[in-house]
């Protein structure tokens, strides 16, 4: 029984940390630009494949590959924004349609190149750590540490730096931010970069623990969207809290009843919470 509780706590925390990164990136771009980027899951998967190609095909050191892959996916995110989203960002429905089309296109390209086979990013560390009687792969612990550090850096960036405050000002009132001399377009591009980097870090951490396939992009999008809705649209802190709720539900149900029930139970719980609190846990009225 003790081992089961430890497994739920430890494994649930690791999974929650990864999904918190992805969901934070998704809600960040919505909070600033009121844009639902349905290509977010594709960025999650792309980062993993960038890292895998760099490491396995080009022989680049895994740590360096991790950094390069994250930066590459950030650049891809900015490119997607500049070429496809920026011209239509005032038309919310069109943004959803276009980014969804991009997501499907990326998935098909990855299927053509890599096939429908699972693969993984090489582990950054090896070995096992024992927590009580529970053996935990060191890579899971490292993934949690990286996720926590990244989220702390995001919090510092948003709340303590001049650029971060410009992002928050644009999120609160775009017209007022423009009158204050803030270049809103540059803010959107930077926000898209940060959002994509968060998805990228999450994708690389995920792919060193679990198998990655092109179809995982859809799963990542659904999880991120569900978490953001639960936490409250536009609330980064709400997304982080909701990520841990979702993560613990997934691991608890998987441990007790099997993986096939985990997503069903998670979505049912989210629906129940939203019936009681339609704006989500930390959402506010527009």
Q: Is residue 204 part of a domain?
A: yes
Domain of 134? 16-215
DSSP state letter for 260: G
The Cβ of residue 172 has, within 10 Å, a number of other Cβ atoms equal to 11
Q: Is residue 220 part of a domain?
A: no
| pLDDT of the residue at 36 | 85
**Per-residue pLDDT tens listing for the chain (286 residues):** 777 888 888 889 999 999 999 999 998 888 877 788 899 999 999 999 999 999 999 989 999 999 999 999 999 999 999 999 888 888 888 999 999 999 999 999 999 999 888 899 988 888 888 887 788 889 999 999 999 999 999 989 888 888 888 888 877 777 777 777 788 888 889 999 999 999 999 999 999 998 899 999 988 888 888 888 888 877 788 888 889 988 898 888 888 888 788 878 888 888 888 888 877 777 655 4
Number of domains the chain is built from? 1
State how far the Cα of 153 lies from the Cα of 145, in Å rounded to an integer: 12
| pLDDT of the residue at 90 | 81
| pLDDT of the residue at 266 | 80
DSSP state letter for 279: T
Q: Which of 104, 103, 140, 148 is nearest to 124 (CA)?
A: 140
Q: Which of 143, 109, 122 is nearest to 65 (CA)?
A: 122
| pLDDT of the residue at 81 | 92
Q: Is residue 195 part of a domain?
A: yes
State how far the Cα of 124 lies from the Cα of 143, in Å rounded to an integer: 9
199 close to 43: Cβ distance less than 8 angstroms: yes
| pLDDT of the residue at 121 | 92
The Cβ of residue 261 has, within 10 Å, a number of other Cβ atoms equal to 14
Q: What is the 3-state secondary structure (H, E, C) of 168-208?
A: HHHHHCHHHHHHCCCCHHHHHHHHHHHHHHHHHHHHHHHHH
| pLDDT of the residue at 283 | 64
Q: What global pTM score does this model have?
A: 0.91
Q: Is residue 267 part of a domain?
A: no
| pLDDT of the residue at 277 | 80
| pLDDT of the residue at 165 | 84
pLDDT in tens, 105-164: 999 999 999 988 889 998 888 888 888 778 888 999 999 999 999 999 998 988 888 888
Give 87's contacts (C-beta < 8 A, 6+ positions apart).
none
| Residue 23 CA neighbour count, 13 Å, CB half | 32
Q: Is residue 118 part of a domain?
A: yes
Q: Is residue 253 part of a domain?
A: no
Q: Is residue 198 part of a domain?
A: yes
| pLDDT of the residue at 98 | 93
Q: Is residue 84 part of a domain?
A: yes
């Amino acid at each position: 029984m003790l081992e089961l509780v430890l497994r739920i706590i430890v494994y649930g925390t690791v999974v929650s940390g990864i999904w918190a990164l992805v969901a934070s990136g998704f809600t960040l771009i919505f909070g600033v630009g009121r844009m639902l980027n349905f290509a977010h899951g594709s960025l999650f998967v792309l980062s993993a494949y960038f890292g895998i190609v760099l490491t396995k095909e080009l022989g680049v050191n895994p740590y360096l590959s991790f950094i390069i892959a994250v930066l590459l996916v950030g650049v891809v995110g900015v490119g997607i924004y500049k070429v496809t989203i920026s011209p239509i960002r005032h038309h919310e429905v069109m943004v959803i349609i276009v980014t969804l089309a991009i997501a499907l296109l990326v998935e098909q390209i990855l299927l053509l190149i890599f096939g429908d086979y699972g693969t993984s990013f090489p582990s950054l560390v090896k070995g096992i750590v024992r927590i009580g009687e529970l053996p935990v792969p060191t890579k899971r612990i490292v993934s949690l540490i990286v996720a926590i550090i990244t989220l702390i850096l995001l919090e510092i960036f948003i709340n303590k730096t001049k650029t971060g405050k410009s992002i928050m000002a644009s999120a609160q009132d775009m017209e007022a931010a423009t009158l204050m001399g803030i270049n809103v377009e540059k803010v959107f591009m930077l926000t898209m970069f940060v959002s994509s980097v968060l998805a990228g870090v999450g994708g690389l951490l995920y792919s060193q623990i679990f198998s990655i396939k092109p179809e995982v992009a859809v799963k990542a999008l659904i999880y991120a969207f569900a978490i953001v809705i639960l936490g409250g649209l536009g609330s980064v802190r709400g997304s982080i809290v909701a990520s841990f709720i979702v993560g613990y539900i997934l691991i608890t149900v998987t441990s007790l009843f099997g993986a096939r029930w985990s997503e069903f139970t998670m979505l049912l719980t989210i629906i129940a919470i939203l019936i009681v609190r339609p704006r989500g846990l930390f959402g506010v009225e527009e």
